[in-house]
Structure 1
Amino acid sequence: MKLSTPRYSCCLFFQLMFILCDIIFNCVSLFPRSRDGLLILFIFQDLFLVLSITSMLMTLFSTYLFQAGLVEVLTRKFRSLALASGAYVLSTLALHTGWLLQRWREPSAVSTPMLIFLFTVQRCLSPWYYFLYKRAALRVSDPRFYEDVDWINRQMQTR
């Protein structure tokens, strides 16, 4: 199945919107004072993370390479995205868990060193995730992923 331009444009639009929403949630998460507001914000951020990864996987699954069973080529091309996505999701979940546990125990307490560490790691990983995700979203639009058999043969030979 060839990925048409309108369909790909729609997918790219949603993928970029998910990244933008994640950036906004990262910025806004510093402001809520109530535990419930923070919980809702984190639920939505995690939901958009899951949606962004699902959207990318659906785009990758629609390539000729995947449908022909050449997952190794896709894995090689998008390995950095998979690693960055996994690290970012884990760091985000760890930060959200630690932050909420601290807010539930002591609502007015200042941050602990562990929470500051998790916050720093998550914020340092986020630009890498955004960059690699956007790059992968643009790279997967290459028509060779959908039809060019000669290119696929060359990729299989360079293992």
Structure 2
Amino acid sequence: MKLSTPRYTFCLISQLTFMFCDLIFNCVSLFPKSRDGLLVLFIFQDLFLILSITTMLMTFFTTYLFQAGLVEVLIRKFRAAGSVIMAYVAASIILHAVWLLEKWGDPESVSTPMLIVLFTLQRCLSPWYYFFYKRAALRVSDPRFYEDIDWINQQLQSH
């Protein structure tokens, strides 16, 4: 099955849009003073993270490798990206939960050391997430994932 250019273009633009939205949400998350504003911001950020992962998985599911049951080749090729993406999503969700729990009880509270560590971890993971996510989105467009049987055989034999 060959991936059509308009469909892939739509997926790639969607993925880059979701990634850009996450970047914007990371930038503006320091500004809301009300806990309701923070809650809405975090809900949208987490929603865009889930949509970006869903879109990435949809592109994986359309590959010949996946449809032929050769998932181990996809996993091997995208293991680093998957690990970084999952770590970033987990760090973001944990940060949002802790931040909201802390601010919900006392909106004027000063950040705790745990919140500072989680914030720093999430912000340090974000450039890695953006790099690996964009790289995976571009790499999955390789036509070999959709039609090149010789390349697939080489991948299976090399492992």
TM-score tier (shorter): over 0.9
**Amino acid paired to 1:44:** F
**Mean alpha-carbon deviation: is it higher for 1-10 or for 136-145?**
1-10
Query: What is the alpha-carbon distance in structure 2 between the residues aligned to residue 147 and residue 132 of structure 1?
Result: 24
Query: What is the alpha-carbon distance in structure 2 between the residues aligned to residue 43 and residue 2 of structure 1?
Result: 36
Query: What is the alpha-carbon distance in structure 2 between the residues aligned to residue 104 and residue 142 of structure 1?
Result: 46
Q: Which residue of 1 is the match for residue 2 of structure 2?
A: 2
Confirm whether residue 150 of structure 1 aligns to residue 150 of structure 2: yes
TM-score, normalization: structure 1? 0.99
1:55 is displaced (CA, Å) by 0.2
**Amino acid paired to 1:3:** L
Q: Which residue of 1 is the match for residue 130 of structure 2?
A: 130
1:2 is displaced (CA, Å) by 1.5
Query: What is the alpha-carbon distance in structure 1 between the residues aligned to residue 136 and residue 94 of structure 2?
Result: 25
1:78 is displaced (CA, Å) by 0.4
Confirm whether residue 100 of structure 1 aligns to residue 107 of structure 2: no
Query: What is the alpha-carbon distance in structure 1 between the residues aligned to residue 141 and residue 71 of structure 2?
Result: 17
1:81 is displaced (CA, Å) by 1.2
Q: Which residue of 1 is the match for residue 28 of structure 2?
A: 28
Query: What is the alpha-carbon distance in structure 2 between the residues aligned to residue 140 and residue 83 of structure 1?
Result: 16
Runs (4 or more) in structure 1 with deviation over 4 Å come to none
1:137 is displaced (CA, Å) by 0.4
Matches within 5 A, 1:1-159: 1-159=1-159
Q: Alignment length, in residue pairs?
A: 159
Query: What is the alpha-carbon distance in structure 2 between the residues aligned to residue 140 and residue 103 of structure 1?
Result: 40
Give unpaired runs (5+ residues) of structure 1: none
Query: What is the alpha-carbon distance in structure 1 between the residues aligned to residue 94 and residue 139 of structure 2?
Result: 30
Helix, strand or coil for the counterpart of 1:78? helix
Query: What is the alpha-carbon distance in structure 2 between the residues aligned to residue 86 and residue 139 of structure 1?
Result: 18
**Amino acid paired to 2:123:** R
Give unpaired runs (5+ residues) of structure 2: none
Residues 95-139 of structure 1 deviation map (CA, whole Å, 9 limit, x = unaligned) = 001110111111101111000000000000111111000000000
1:62 is displaced (CA, Å) by 0.2
TM-score, normalization: structure 2? 0.99
